[in-house]
A and B are shown apart, each in its own frame.
Chain A
Amino acid sequence: MNKRDTALTEVKMALIAARERNEPDALTHALSQAGAENADAIVEFDLGLVATSSYGDEADAPDVMEIAQRARARAFAAVFSVTPAPAEVSLKTLIKAQGSTLVALASRLGLGVDVLSALEMGRISLKSVPQRLYDALSEALDATVEQITAAVAYDVAPALRRGQPGARGAANKQIDFAEAVISSQSMTPEQRASWLADSAGR
């Protein structure tokens, strides 16, 4: 790659920094740094920066997550002949990493500790877990939705994943999230109703 392109990238990164500092002459300065031959590229870049800066929660919508998942699979296939194994991160690891406990997390989510424990043990069917729980876990554990999804999926059949003997029947013993909530011994009727309302749509 030639020197001009490297210089252009440096200007772009400086422009991002200047925009973050709300410098009024950020673009003007970038244009003067980039030179006339790169003026269009810098203007285009600045417009792209502005246009892509206004999205927050929308980016976690289920359809967007699916698109992102497909994109990731495509990118891995393009780079690796064999896709690297996912990081073996369980829900327990995430909870521990944030210095929290199962009880504290359950309380924060308004969910029974027995339900959360069942999820952590991989006894709840993934398909039945409502999106709201992923979002709530993501917020409570300060983790990306990808990390939560991977952790919950990792927990589903840890014995199977690790090739432990006699684990083949584990998947058959899974229950739905709604069943776990209904049979929870540690939830108030309001909490139960709230979570069941979410899982009803699934």
Chain B
Amino acid sequence: MDERHGDSRSRRRTGAQSAISPRMPEMADVAGTDDARASGADLPDTTTGAPVALDPRDPHTMARLLKRTPSHGYEVADTSLVVAIRYWDAKNQPEASGILIQLLLDRCAPEFRRRAMGLRQRPDLMEDAIAAMIEQVIREARDPNEVFMTQNFIHYLKCLCIDNFNRILRQEGLSYKRDAQGRPVGRPQHIPRALIERIDVRLDDQDDPVGPGSAVADPSDALGSRMAAVEAQRILTYLPDPLDRQIMVLRALEGRQWEEIATICGKTERTMRLRFEKARTLLKECLRAEMAHHDSANGD
């Protein structure tokens, strides 16, 4: 896989796999979708009755493309823009498709920025992430074999942005790693404060659970929050029993009541408390050993 395009390159279906015809979309395709009907993208030609493509070179169409709905959506749906881009590309009309691409990107721009904001302290990485998002949207908007864009554009866009955000983190070594046996490796980069506090506090003192929002080192820092959450997952892999991991997540990270945890896990409350205590002790030992190993490796 070409890393530059992130995991979301996977959105492309081959013609053989596609449940949707891989041919170039004709405007008849637009007319056949609820989305297009709602968007008015298939207004029939008054003389021929045939559907007419969205032509951004027409001032009236351009006005429609910019018009918002009361719920802050667009009167002409993003999906219809994508179909029109492919239509004009197929007709070898780069001017029309180019304008539509620019309009689509203008619409997507706030989402690109929001999803890359966690990288703001590293402008070079933020630029990389946004450039990759934009490039992928352009390429896939012009690819008639790509199907996710026209299924649900909002979810497609979020998915694409998150994949690219994560790819940048991976490239920078900011995500957690495992060795060949699947064991966690590397020093904790950002241990969640709440998890450590929950591990260090006596069991009897833990009847006032912390909320999920406090399970991270700094809730205002999304990148920190993410790293904390990633690190929590890594640490929890020290617990061999899935039930113990589940108890730890429910109690230490999600802050649920013992009674609730017992119901979810289908065991007694006492069992939950005992298993939590054992898991907590094990995690403390693992983290201490990990820190000591790292310090000795660094000659501290």
Interface residues in chain A, defined as those with a beta carbon under 8 Å from any beta carbon in chain B: 1, 3, 5-6, 8-9, 12-13, 16-17, 40-41, 43-45, 47-56, 58-60, 63-65, 67-68, 70-72, 74-76, 78-80, 84-89, 93-94, 96-98, 142-147, 150
Which residues of A are found within 8 Å of B105, using beta-carbon distances? 72, 146
Smallest CB gap from B99: residue in A: A87
Given contacts A1-B12, A13-B148, A143-B66, contact A48 B114 (CB under 8 A): no
Q: Which 6 A-B pairs have the closest CB atoms?
A: A84-B98, A5-B10, A51-B226, A71-B130, A75-B134, A97-B66
Contact bitstring B141-172, A, C-beta under 8 A = 1, else 0: 00000001001100110110111011001000
Complex Cα spacing A53 to B225, Å? 11
Across the interface, B101 reaches (CB within 8 A) one of A84, A96, A97, A150, namely A84
Check if B285 is an interface residue, CB within 8 A of chain A.
Answer: no
Which residues of B are found within 8 Å of A145, using beta-carbon distances? 109-110
* Size of the chain B interface, CB-CB below 8 angstroms: 75
Asked whether B66 lies within 8 Å of A52 as measured between CB atoms, the reply is: no
Across the interface, B117 reaches (CB within 8 A) one of A47, A49, A58, A74, namely A58
**Nearest CB of A to B148, in Å:** 6
Asked whether B138 lies within 8 Å of A50 as measured between CB atoms, the reply is: no
Count CB-based A-B contacts (< 8 Å): 196
Asked whether B113 lies within 8 Å of A60 as measured between CB atoms, the reply is: yes
Smallest CB gap from B66: residue in A: A97
Check if B11 is an interface residue, CB within 8 A of chain A.
Answer: yes
**Nearest CB of A to B144, in Å:** 15
Which residues of A are found within 8 Å of B94, using beta-carbon distances? 84
Complex Cα spacing A54 to B218, Å? 13
Which residues of A are found within 8 Å of B56, using beta-carbon distances? 87
Asked whether B127 lies within 8 Å of A146 as measured between CB atoms, the reply is: no
Complex Cα spacing A146 to B165, Å? 21
Asked whether B66 lies within 8 Å of A147 as measured between CB atoms, the reply is: yes
Asked whether B117 lies within 8 Å of A59 as measured between CB atoms, the reply is: yes
Which residues of A are found within 8 Å of B268, using beta-carbon distances? none
Across the interface, A98 reaches (CB within 8 A) one of B67, B117, B230, namely B67
Given contacts A41-B7, A50-B229, contact A85 B98 (CB under 8 A): yes
Asked whether A75 lies within 8 Å of B138 as measured between CB atoms, the reply is: yes
Across the interface, B148 reaches (CB within 8 A) one of A9, A17, A86, A96, namely A9
Complex Cα spacing A63 to B226, Å? 23
Complex Cα spacing A78 to B136, Å? 10
